[in-house]
Structure 1
Amino acid sequence: MSGTTTGIQGKGSKGRRGKGEELMVPRAEFDSYYGRPVIKAPSWKDRDIAGYFFTGGLAGAGSVLAAGAQLTGRPTMAKALKISSLAAISLSTAALINDLGRPSRFVNMLRVCKPTSPMSVGSWLLAGYGPMAGAAAASAVTGWLPRAGAAATGAAAVLGPAVTTYTAVLAADTAVPAWHGAHRELPYLFAASAIAAAAGMALVVSPTRETGPARCAAVLAAAADKAAASAAERRLGMVAETYRSGKAGKLMRCAQALTVAGAATAGLLGGRSRPAAVAGGLALLTGSALTRFGVFHAGMASAEDPKYTVEPQRERRRERAAETGSRGRSHTRPHPHS
């Protein structure tokens, strides 16, 4: 970081040498070395990692809806969602391996299990969830081993929520300001977006008579998506600019518009019109995908601009200093009866 702050003692500071000198010039504005980023942005490709975020969420949430459909006597929806979840988790794993460069690197991550590492936990989640999703889909398609298929469906549904949200923890565990600063809200945003996508898939591939729960899930997910995104922006402060401007801003605005439009179409017309249900489902799927790409690009933008790293740190330091000063003044205040 370039730039230093200089203090000059003027007339107003005479006689205060024991108490510290008074600054007579403003603090220098922050400027990084040749404007270079303070942190190194992850060397992730948007197609691989944002796609990995989206397809993993679709798979996990789809398994939960598939289990619910099976329990409530909606066989067509259950079968379709099991197949889509297997396809989505296969694409998710392929995207991750493609980003890693070699399949052996994914296998190497399974050599150890570190509960404190989101990447390690995520690798084991994929390794456990994938076979369960595959067994559930195979049983649904062939009709073989229905009890084993039901058990696999239940196991995939249990692991589904973790598969849906661990990618948010993985992103928030980095030093990227737009992700790390929203570490509390990002899992909720990913979960809501994944439920919207799974509900959209159910609307597209299922007969209208079976889509009642999916339509309800779509409306609730759209509301939760908006609430989580707004809460994340409030917490991020100035860093939230990265979610509202540039490529990320366009993606997030389109995502919210499509998610709301898809949920409204599904909720109002999806129960009576098959074309409306499909249109609403496609809008929900697209909105969910754009949300993941928007979050990805917001993170990259925040890593590339040094002000989003330094200014929030300075703000937190000022707040801590003000807190410490306030506590100090309260401790030294004389007692009224002294």
Structure 2
Amino acid sequence: MSRKETRKETLEQAEEQVPTIRSGRATLTDFVTGRKRRRGERAVVPEAEFSSYYDKPVLNPPVWRSPEIPGYLFLGGLAGASSLLGAGAHFTGDRTVATAAKTGALGAITLSVVALVADLGRPMRFVNMLRVFKPSSPMNIGSWVLAGYGPLAGASAFSAITGKLPRIGAVATGGAALLGPAVAAYTGALVSDTAVPAWHDGYREMPFVFVGSGATAAGGLGLLTAPDDESAPSRNLALFGTALELAAFGRMHKRLGMVAEPYRAGRGGKYMRATEILSLAGLAGAVLGRRSGILRRLAGAALIAASACTRWGVFHAGKQSAKDPKYTVVPQRQRLRDR
């Protein structure tokens, strides 16, 4: 047999094992490109398993710590929404609620900055963020918002407590109310601007979840401190915040599919279940406790706790999703197939 005939026979045997060179190449890259194999094609390489590389996850989990960062997220939302409540009570003449909300906003934003600085390690790291203005960075924009909001919240609370400089206090109250929604929402954009699957994939709804959670906490604070005849605005804010938070989270959970699993399982899932129970209990107490001061205050405490559980739940769900490779790999493959 000649060399030419031997080569031809070898090629014929190879074609029996692999349909075509082109289809063989395609099967090698199916798991990378996400392209579905055509009928008759056979995979040369088995599907990749979701495992780690030298016991390392696909993503490095966030280095943020608890309780500093969840506390920072919670207190910022409470402060921003409390400024809105304080402004409304100020202009309707509900002085007790106005004073409590303004004082609560100042205390919450102060503790929020303390928690942030504690996580950063040095106060100058926060100051250094103000050296530039970068609209594409939620952290940078958030630092500028905090820098503007803090003094306004302080002036508003000072005027409410002491009764001095009422005109300046009114202007500061309005300014804090204008920046309040940004303070409550920007942390949602901040966590979404990461590679953590449970945070990043929820970028559409996360700011609404955080705003609703902040309004729930502020409404709970108002129910704790308001007299019977001034509790209606706090109750309405709590109803609005809880409805917004649960609706936005439900939509996010449905849209995320399997990436939403950490919000229902593990440590994050426990916090989110506590949020639902405490929110519903707080709403029931707020509605039924219109004539009962004790029941109304218990409802306020439950709503504040529900808001805190939301932030801790989001925090731990994100860390859990970063540790498991499937929450990174499977959605990437699906997006490639969709394209």
TM-score, reference length from structure 2: 0.88
Please identify the structure whose Cα radius of gyration is greater: 2
Which of the residues 118, 143, 146 maps onto 2:163?
143
Distance 2:168 2:14 in 1: 81
2:209/2:248 contact within 8 Å kept: yes
Give the 4+ runs in structure 1 shifted more than 4 A. Answer: 8-14, 16-21
Which of the residues 39, 48, 68 maps onto 2:88?
68
Distance 2:80 2:91 in 1: 17
Equivalent pairs counted in the alignment come to: 311
2:200 matched to 1:180? yes
Provide Cα deviations, 1:18-43, integer angstroms capped at 9, x if missing partner.
66672245423332313421111221
Aligned to 1:105: 125
Provide Cα deviations, 1:246-273, integer angstroms capped at 9, x if missing partner.
111111000111011101210222x211
Which of the residues 70, 74, 78 maps onto 1:50?
70
Which of the residues 292, 298, 319 maps onto 2:338?
319
Distance 2:90 2:211 in 1: 21
Aligned to 1:4: none
TM-score, reference length from structure 1: 0.88
Distance 1:140 1:18 in 2: 76
Which of the residues 282, 285, 302 maps onto 2:304?
285
Question: 1:91 deviation in Å?
Answer: 0.2
2:82/2:218 contact within 8 Å kept: yes
Q: Percent identity?
A: 54
Aligned to 2:294: 275
3-state SS of paired residue (2:131):
coil
**Structure 1 residues 116 and 17, CA gap change in structure 2 (3 angstroms):** closer
Which of the residues 239, 242, 256 maps onto 2:259?
239
2:80/2:182 contact within 8 Å kept: yes
> What does 1:135-174 align with in structure 2 at a 5 Å threshold?
135-174=155-194
2:259 matched to 1:254? no
2:87 matched to 1:78? no
CA RMSD, Structure 1 to Structure 2 (Å): 1.7
**Structure 1 residues 213 and 308, CA gap change in structure 2 (3 angstroms):** same
> What does 1:32-51 align with in structure 2 at a 5 Å threshold?
32-51=52-71
Please, which runs of 5 or more residues in structure 2 have no aligned partner?
Answer: 1-12, 26-40
The amino acid that maps onto 1:65 is L
Question: 1:165 deviation in Å?
Answer: 0.6
